[in-house]
Amino acid sequence: MAKYLVIVESPAKVKTIKKFLGSNYEVCASNGHVRDLPKSQMGVDLEHDFDPKYITIRGKGDILAKLRKAVKKADKVYLATDPDREGEAISWHLAHALKLEDKDIHRITFNEITKNAVKTSLKEPRGIDMGLVNAQQARRILDRMVGYKISPLLWAKVKRGLSAGRVQSAALKMICEREDEISSFIPDEYWSIDATIDIEGEKKPITAAYVGTKEGKADLKCEADAQKVKDEIVGKKPKVYDIKIGERNKKQPLAFTTSTLQQEASKRLNFSTVKTMRIAQQLYEGVDIKGEGTVGLISYLRTDSTRVSDEASNEAFNYISENFGEQYVNKTLSQVSKKSNVQDAHEAIRPTSIARTPVVVKESLSRDQFRLYKLIWERFAASRMNPAVYETKSVKIIIGDHIFSVATSKIKFDGFLSVYQADDDEGKAKKNVLLNSIDENSVLKLADVDMQQHFTQPPAHFTEASLVKTMEEHGIGRPSTYAPTISVLLARRYITKENKNLYITEIGEVVNNIMKESFATIVDETFTANMELLLDKIEEGSVEWKTVIRNFYPDLKVAVDKAEKELEKIEIKDEETDTVCENCGRNMVIKYGPHGRFLACPGFPDCRNTKPYYEKIGVSCPKCGEDVVLKMTKKGRKYYGCINNPDCDFMSWQKPVEKKCPNCGGYMIEKGNKIVCADQNCKTIIEDVK
């Protein structure tokens, strides 16, 4: 009997795939990459047309020896690594390492690890797709050039252990720019008016919001504006001005892509992007299901496409028809237009079988696996269902010359909401249910008028979810790079995470300033996005991969050479302070650590004394008169506090100034190029101070 060898990446897949194949098949794992560029050097031959210098990864010798033995025994070898660029490159490296180049190479891929998908792939082997391989080689070499050329400059400028990256630096710049927007944001005041109105014959009143007059919408910018409206409506009789009854469709969501899965898992399950991908990988590779054995529960998890196969859609339609009713099935799903930066290489993320409901597999999954699988299953089921339909009623009420509005909606047909409840749908049908009893002849009475002061809010801090969304919108990175990019920024302590929000640290700010000053092109979002499009063209075969490298490297070298000269002149040396080391009497110096600056004795290693460094900003504490200093939270976020802490609890996220507010006497803070009163209610602003 013939003997066949199937080589996969992960040992977790071996058991799953082995179960689907007969005794003639041996399944082995490469444990990921077997060859890569060396860590000790760039590994790219700059003198010979940028040839990569691949070496066997340390520790992979035994695995390759085992695979070579298995290859000798096999009549046919199938390379079944992941169905993406990186997986294609691993197959190519395996072919070299196992000396398969002179043999017929049988490359197989499957979007899901199911019996049908695996067996079908064995009937349709192909050669290695060099477009995919070359796109991966180009990405790897571009990233290696950026990292190995720029990182040493960061070591000289700030501290060892820092790094720069093509995608990482562009993402860091986006976070810094958002922090600058927030820091310089000056809120605008506005007011709202709610009218509480009694309906004759009803026990409970309704609440209507102020809209404007018959001439159009009116903005209430200050208390005087709101008070004027209130004075003009008090004592007046409300009347129904207009009633509109209609229907509104809420469209079903699309099946998950990598980006949208990471965003929803963050919002709904509080998962980090790394955790989401780790658990999704487990569900994809296979889980032991009671009564079935090891089964791959979801399709491939790295995708930017919302496309779903006809087979999976038809199975979903049948399931929905049987379990919910024919009226829930949406067989006229509109095609979503493909964006220019979408590869569309794989289907959307979906269950391998919709019949395998969350309830069926719950006992076999860990809590986190179940929660993520349930989210994926529900989203996919919803994507194949009809929209939800709401009955809507909008009533405009006129009081004097002023118009107020109130609206309600009631679910007429729940559609996809029967399986997937969006956050903003909960409780909508309960609002203002009394509107159903209002018509043109209703007798109304004004019971109360409530004026509320509000302030416009700055842009929200990035969360992992919103950063992934913005990276995708700008075309920065690809599905496989979102989670690793954020992970590196957190690991390097360029950013920190508090209550889901991402904040820039002092070291992150320093690195970003260097990158913007010396390597503006690399951190530019448009450049990074265009580079991703070039990688796509390499994959398609329309651009030669070394052409991209040849065009990129000379500009990088010029920028590095220029920065090396300038950085030599402004190299940061240890700054001596007036603080005396109590152990040896030397003046302590400022050093950079993972969490920012600190004081250290220059006598290291003989004297290892260190203490926190507090940078005085030349401002007296508004509470006690001591110095205000720049401090850091434990996670590296900057703030301003009293040096006399904990005896004095003054703190401010914005930098305070010595100048007192001329109107209220309180302290003032810097906001971009303005100085504003720290008390939002005061609203004093001094323009153009910088």
Distances (CA, A) of 348 to 4, 187, 297, 465, 540: 31, 41, 14, 18, 21
Would you say 242 and 395 are in contact if contact means Cβ atoms under 8 Å apart? Answer: yes
Would you say 211 and 396 are in contact if contact means Cβ atoms under 8 Å apart? Answer: yes
Q: Write the burial class of residue 72 (CB in 10 Å: 0-12 exposed, 13-18 middle, 19+ buried).
A: exposed
Other CB atoms within a 10 A radius of the CB of residue 251 amount to 11
Please pick, among 210, 300, 390, 420, the residue that the annotation labels catalytic: 300
Helix (H) / strand (E) containing 491? helix 482-491
Q: Active site includes 300?
A: yes
Distance CA 306, CA 479 (A): 13
Residue 235 falls in which region: left (phi positive, over 0), alpha (psi -120 to 50) or beta: left
Which of 90, 81, 16, 589 is closest to 287 using CA atoms? 16
Distance CA 667, CA 619 (A): 10
Distance CA 204, CA 344 (A): 54
Distance CA 5, CA 483 (A): 33
Which of 142, 135, 132, 134 is closest to 169 using CA atoms? 142
Strand locations in 255-384, DSSP E? Answer: 287-289, 293-295
Helix (H) / strand (E) containing 12? helix 11-20
Q: How many whole angstroms from its chain centre is CA 584? A: 49
Q: How many whole angstroms from its chain centre is CA 60? A: 33
Distances (CA, A) of 50 to 166, 295, 548, 657: 18, 43, 11, 54
Distance CA 684, CA 292 (A): 69
Other CB atoms within a 10 A radius of the CB of residue 454 amount to 12
Cα dihedral sign for 556, 496, 376, 289? positive
76-79 and 587-593 strand pairing: unpaired
Other CB atoms within a 10 A radius of the CB of residue 685 amount to 12
Would you say 147 and 164 are in contact if contact means Cβ atoms under 8 Å apart? Answer: yes
Active site residues: 300
